[in-house]
Amino acid sequence: MTTFGFIGTGHLGSMLVKQFVGSGAIQAERVLASNRTAEKVDLLAEATGIRSVSNRVVTELSDVIFICVRPLEVRDVLSDVTYLLNSQKLVVSVAGDVSLEKLQSFCPARLARAFPSMASLKLQGVTLLVFGDNTTAEDQRLIAGLFNAIGQAVEVEEKDFAVLADLTSSAPGYFAALMREFVLAAERRGISPELAERLVKQTLLGTALLLEEESFAGLIESVATIGGITEVGVKVIQREAPGMFDQLFQATEARHEQVRKKVDLIRKV
Ligand SMILES: NC(=O)c1ccc[n+]([C@@H]2O[C@H](COP(=O)([O-])OP(=O)(O)OC[C@H]3O[C@@H](n4cnc5c(N)ncnc54)[C@H](OP(=O)(O)O)[C@@H]3O)[C@@H](O)[C@H]2O)c1
């Protein structure tokens, strides 16, 4: 029986524990978790039935260890428990901008990276996965199976991670920001923001369901009939949005580069 450990139970770590246990993908008694601020993991343990322990105990007793701390904290967390890590253990890091190569330089375990989405709170969305050369086919099946239980797991190339994370993990925030601008524009035309938000949210949910069977281009074609009102609006978006999305990718890539440089500079004291 595999034992699963989670180091870091902030937003993402606690979501993963709750959803893996809640969906039945992992039994609560097979889960150990730790967090710098112990009260946080104690509350999670109370709510889910998992065990709250220290980083050392998580590492010692778990076969699969999810590292759910921020990118600049990964090296310190792993360095403190390196002596307990070996090729018998699988470490799955969810930290952005800490490459497999970097992880391998201070972690003698089998390694994978996962980049989940908060949409897994609704058992939807995508988790990006990349596996180290030292993982086995069984590791890959196990990890993909876990994330498929709380959304959709997609294995990708590590070089594409940052752009793909914009499309998956960050996208709920981008979609919400875009829709909020839509609502605010309606408000500037005298519509109450509460009404506009309610209508847009419901329409967004319906649109997502239509897209289960339809491409973006196909949906545009069926809604924006030639010569109609929607076509005029679609043309405005097609004129204005490319520059905005190119700027978005440029801005996030610059931010990734800053974090990568900081990660490279970190040394264990
Ligand atoms: N949030 C997302 O949507 C998302 C999506 C994909 C990937 N990620 C990745 O997930 C990671 C965590 O993000 P987050 O949003 O969950 O951040 P967060 O809410 O700040 O959680 C980080 C957690 O790590 C704990 N921690 C820090 N140092 C520790 C240590 N030495 N030992 C044990 N626990 C320690 C913190 O404890 P304290 O309670 O003491 O602060 C905190 O609870 C990041 O690397 C991020 O790139 C996040």
Q: State the CATH number of the domain containing residue 71.
A: 3.40.50.720
Rounded CA separation 2/139 (Å)? 11
**90 and 209 in a common domain:** no
**210 and 147 in a common domain:** no
Q: How many domains does the chain have?
A: 2
**177 and 148 in a common domain:** no
Q: What is the pLDDT of residue 225?
A: 86
Find the domain containing 74 and state its range: 4-156
pLDDT band, very low/low/confident/very high, at 265 (cuts 50, 70, 90): confident
**179 and 134 in a common domain:** no
Q: What is the pLDDT of residue 269?
A: 42
**177 and 80 in a common domain:** no
Average pLDDT over residues 17-27: 98
User: How high is the mean pLDDT of the chain?
Assistant: 96
Lookup result for tokens 């109450």: 192
**138 and 109 in a common domain:** yes
Lookup result for tokens 């005298």: 190
User: Which of 112, 138, 137, 139 lies closest to 127 in space, CA to CA?
Assistant: 112
Any idea how long the chain is? 269
Average pLDDT over residues 43-70: 98
**DSSP letter at 190?**
T
Sheet holding 31-34, edge to edge: 51-52, 31-34, 4-7, 64-67, 90-93, 110-115, 126-131, 152-155
Which of 35, 118, 168, 260 to mutate to test ligand 1, by most ligand atoms within 8 A of the CB atom?
35
Q: What is the pTM of this model?
A: 0.94
If one counts every other C-beta atom within 10 angstroms of the C-beta of residue 98, the result is: 26
User: Which of 57, 51, 8, 54 lies closest to 32 in space, CA to CA?
Assistant: 51
Distance 260 CA to ligand 1 centre (A): 17
Average pLDDT over residues 15-25: 98
For residue 166, being part of any structural domain is answered with no
**85 and 115 in a common domain:** yes
For residue 230, being part of any structural domain is answered with yes
Q: Which tokens in the block code for residue 244?
A: 């905005």
Q: What amino acid is encoded at 36 in this protein? A: R
Distance 258 CA to ligand 1 centre (A): 18
Q: State the CATH number of the domain containing residue 184.
A: 1.10.3730.10
Q: pLDDT tens, 207-228?
A: 999 999 999 999 999 999 898 9
**249 and 207 in a common domain:** yes
**190 and 74 in a common domain:** no
**48 and 101 in a common domain:** yes
